[in-house]
Amino acid sequence: MSDLLWILLSAMVVNNFTLSLFLGLCPFLGVSGRVETALRMGLANIFVLVLTSLCAWALNTFVLVYAPFLRVISFIVVIASLVQIVEMAVKKFSPTLFRQLGIYLPLITTNCAILGLAIFQTNRGYGLFQGLAFAVGAGLGLTLALVLMASIRETTELSDVPDVTRGAGLVLIVAGTLSLAFMGFAGLLSGA
């Protein structure tokens, strides 16, 4: 159990996907303008990450033992189809949810956090439950980073910063500062 908790916390804060591995930066910079949007994007990500982790585990266990060099190609095909199926399912069964998540789902396909999760999970040799803990931790970490960033951006929009820094420059400097702050978590799990 403590092993799973370690994986979860490690993916969530110590090795935060966005702030220390730079995965999932497109949504991080693109949709982190408002807290509410950021939260929804984060939740959509958690959902897809968990499904991806399951698929990656199944592929690794049953198919890719015979041809490990087809890993990248099969992961990306499965992720793309998965997102498509999820989109169709959500549209059919919950139109309200679809209106809220709909536009974020296709964006998730080219979100490197998803493929990154599948590949890191494989490289580290995680089993089914370890993979799931990893996916939940990574998703929570992404959501945390998105929401933190969005709340800071809502503030900076109204503050008096030098004109020349407005836009991407300022966002990246803020991200750098957040990333520095997250380095403080590094000692957190050393006792485990």
The count of other CB atoms within 10 Å of the CB of residue 81 is 12
Rounded-to-integer distance, Cα 125 and Cα 111, Å = 22
Residues 27-66 that bind other proteins (CB under 8 A): 29-31, 33-34, 37
Residues 128-187 that bind other proteins (CB under 8 A): 164-165, 167-173, 175-177, 179-180, 183, 186-187
Q: Is 97 in the site for other proteins (CB under 8 A)?
A: no
Alpha helix positions (H), the chain: 2-9, 25-30, 35-58, 71-93, 95-101, 104-109, 112-123, 128-158, 168-183
Rounded-to-integer distance, Cα 53 and Cα 133, Å = 9
Q: What is the dihedral of CA 107, 90, 50, 57, to 10 degrees?
A: -100
Q: Which of 56, 112, 133, 156 binds other proteins (CB under 8 A)?
A: 112
Q: What is the DSSP letter of 103?
A: T
Which of the ranges 47-55, 89-97, 108-116, 144-152 carries the binding residues for other proteins, by CB under 8 A? Answer: 108-116
Closer residue to other proteins, CB minimum distance, 16 or 143: 16
Question: Which residues make up the interface to other proteins (CB under 8 A)?
Answer: 14-15, 19-26, 29-31, 33-34, 37, 69-73, 76-77, 80, 103, 106-107, 110-112, 114-116, 119-120, 123-125, 164-165, 167-173, 175-177, 179-180, 183, 186-187, 189-190
